Copies of this chain bind each other. A is one copy, B any other.
Amino acid sequence: MVQIWVGVSVESARYKLGRFFLCRLEHNSAFVQSIINFVKKKRVKMAVFAVVGAVKQAKLACYDQVKHEYQQIKLYKPLEIASCFGNLSLKAGEPFVHIHAVLADEKGKTYAGHMINATVFAAELHLQELIGKKLEREYDQPTGLALWELGDDRINPLRR
C-alpha cells in the first residue's frame, strides 16, 4: 500500500434538513437533465439524493487518476439501477449533480461508476434538500476535479 496521511483534518459544513421529495422521473426522459430540471423548478440549491429504477441505456465514466480525464463506459442495453446516489451543489453558479451508480443487466452482472447520463425506463428519486452554506465546486489541482471549497470549519458559522 502507498503511504497515506492519517492526521489530516476533514473539511465540513453543517446543514439543516429542508424539504424531502419523492419523485417519479418520466419514461424516456434524460436521467441527469430531469433531476436538474426538477431542482431548478423547486429552487433546491443543495441536496443529497438516491434513485431506484431502471434505464434503457446509460453512459458511465471512470476518472483516470493519472491522466486527469474521464474514460467513458457506454452501455446500450436495458439495465436495473441497482444503486444510485449523489449530491447537488453549484459549479460556476449553476446547479451541478454528482452521481454514482451501479447498473445491472438481466444476468445480474454489474457496471458501475460516475453517471454521465442515461435514458429513464422507470425511476424513483428520493431527494433531501439541505439548507445552509452554498457549496461551490472549484478546480482542485492535485486531482484535476471540481471539488467543494468547504474551508476551515473554524470559520463555519453553522458548526455547533
Using A104-B113, A124-B148 as known contacts, say yes or no to A22 and B12 having CB atoms under 8 A apart.
Answer: yes
The answer on a CB contact under 8 Å between B21 and A13 is yes
Q: In which size bucket is the chain A interface? A: 35 or more
Chain B residue contacts of A14, Cβ below 8 A: 19-21
The answer on a CB contact under 8 Å between A112 and B108 is yes
* This protein's copies in its complex: 3
The answer on a CB contact under 8 Å between A110 and B110 is yes
**Dominant SS among interface residues on chain A:** strand
The answer on a CB contact under 8 Å between A37 and B9 is yes
Complex-state Cα separation, A105 to B64, whole angstroms: 10
Tell me whether A92 is interfacial, beta carbon within 8 Å.
no
Q: Jot down 15 A-B pairs with beta carbons below 8 A, ordered by A.
A: A6-B29, A10-B23, A11-B24, A12-B24, A19-B160, A22-B48, A22-B135, A50-B85, A52-B87, A52-B99, A62-B108, A65-B78, A73-B107, A73-B108, A83-B102
